């Protein structure tokens, strides 16, 4: 299982970090061994930002078959430093525990999701707000990448990313037609 991640799929999030809105989706990878469950998030001395994302499991015909919510944890100041120096992002995105993934449910294109930080909503997004549909993301990725059945795709984060500090509690929830069908919490330690 490989873990692919799309970036800047929500124009508002690209703008909040001062990034151009790409014409074609851009991807990076996280190591499989960076995958962890909700429950506890290591604050890594305060540099970790939350990015809630819809996460897809890719099926036999390279289509989204399952989905869940996940956190693409990002060490933002390290990422900024690497970006400034035009270096790869691995240290900022592929560290231990950086891919938080919830329970899998059947894929539904009507999905939307929210992240609460200490009870306050900080991020929300939905499939219909993305620049590309999940199938379009998979199709474009499969043009050049060796993606295969069972791989996982983080689909990019909506606006509202921000830092996590020790003692914070985050709750990620997935909705279909306003009905909450999945919710996971984690404590920042
Ligand atoms: Zn992300």
In the chain, domain spans = 3-188
For residue 140, report the distance from its CA to the centre of ligand 1, in Å: 17
Per-residue pLDDT of the chain (189 residues; tens, 9 = 90+): 999 999 999 988 778 878 877 889 999 999 999 999 999 999 888 799 999 999 999 999 999 999 999 999 999 999 999 999 999 999 999 999 999 999 999 999 999 999 999 999 999 999 999 999 999 999 999 999 999 999 999 999 999 999 999 999 999 999 998 899 999 999 999
Which helix (H) or strand (E) segment is 78 a member of? helix 76-84
For residue 50, report the distance from its CA to the centre of ligand 1, in Å: 9
CATH superfamily of 3-188: Fumarylacetoacetase-like, C-terminal domain (3.90.850.10)
For residue 87, report the distance from its CA to the centre of ligand 1, in Å: 17
For residue 160, report the distance from its CA to the centre of ligand 1, in Å: 12
Residues 173/50, Cβ–Cβ less than 8 Å: no
- Determine the Cα–Cα distance for residues 114 and 5; give it in Å rounded to an integer: 19
For residue 88, report the distance from its CA to the centre of ligand 1, in Å: 15
pTM for the model stands at 0.94
Question: Could you tell me if residue 43 is left (phi over 0), alpha (psi between -120 and 50 degrees) or otherwise beta?
Answer: alpha
For residue 127, report the distance from its CA to the centre of ligand 1, in Å: 15
For residue 6, report the distance from its CA to the centre of ligand 1, in Å: 7
């Amino acid at each position: 299982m490989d873990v692919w991640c799309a970036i800047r799929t929500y124009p508002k999030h690209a703008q909040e970090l001062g990034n151009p809105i790409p014409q074609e989706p851009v991807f990076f990878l996280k190591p499989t061994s960076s995958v962890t469950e909700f429950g506890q998030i290591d604050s890594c001395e305060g540099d970790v930002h939350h990015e809630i994302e819809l996460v897809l499991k890719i099926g036999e015909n390279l289509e989204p078959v399952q989905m869940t919510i996940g956190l693409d944890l990002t060490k933002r100041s390290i990422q900024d430093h690497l970006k400034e120096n035009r270096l790869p992002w691995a240290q900022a995105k592929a560290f231990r525990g950086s891919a938080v993934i919830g329970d899998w449910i059947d894929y539904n294109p009507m999905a939307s999701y929210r992240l609460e930080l200490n009870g306050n909503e900080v991020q929300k997004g939905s499939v219909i707000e993305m620049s590309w549909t999940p199938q379009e993301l998979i199709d474009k990725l499969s043009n050049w990448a060796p993606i295969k059945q069972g791989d996982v795709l983080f689909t990019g984060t909506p606006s509202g990313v921000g830092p996590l500090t020790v003692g914070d509690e985050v709750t990620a929830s997935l909705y279909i037609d306003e009905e909450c069908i999945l919710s996971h919490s984690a404590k920042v330690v």
